[in-house]
Amino acid sequence: MNRYIGSSVERYDIGTKVAGSRKYPQDFNMEGQLYAKVVWSEYAHARLLSIDTKAAEQAPGVIAVFTYKDVPVNEYGIYLMDQRVLAQDKVYSVG
């Protein structure tokens, strides 16, 4: 039998989490840091015929605009690589 099943495990990080002083990756700022904005679909089960990024590319402060064509691997999954990271030909849900 495993010695961890049915027993308490000591949490070394709980004090800083409870106190609110724990640092997470989003708490750090770095010189030259960039931010990303994801554009979510307003429609469910919609076919994606084209993506026009011109207006976004010309917006002030925009460094880059990415679509599925810009990523080397657009699929992920635990057992099968069957879930798309960025919409490609169909949008499955709102948001």
Structure tokens given for 38: 């994801």
At 4 the pLDDT is 76
Residue 62 in any domain: the answer is yes
Residue 43 in any domain: the answer is yes
pTM above 0.85, yes or no: no
At 86 the pLDDT is 92
Residue 37 in any domain: the answer is yes
Total domain count for the chain?
1
Domain containing 39: what range? 28-94
Question: Which of 51, 34, 32, 35 has its CA nearest to residue 91?
Answer: 51
**Along the chain (95 residues), what's the average pLDDT of each consecutive run of 10 residues?**
79 91 92 91 93 95 95 89 89 88
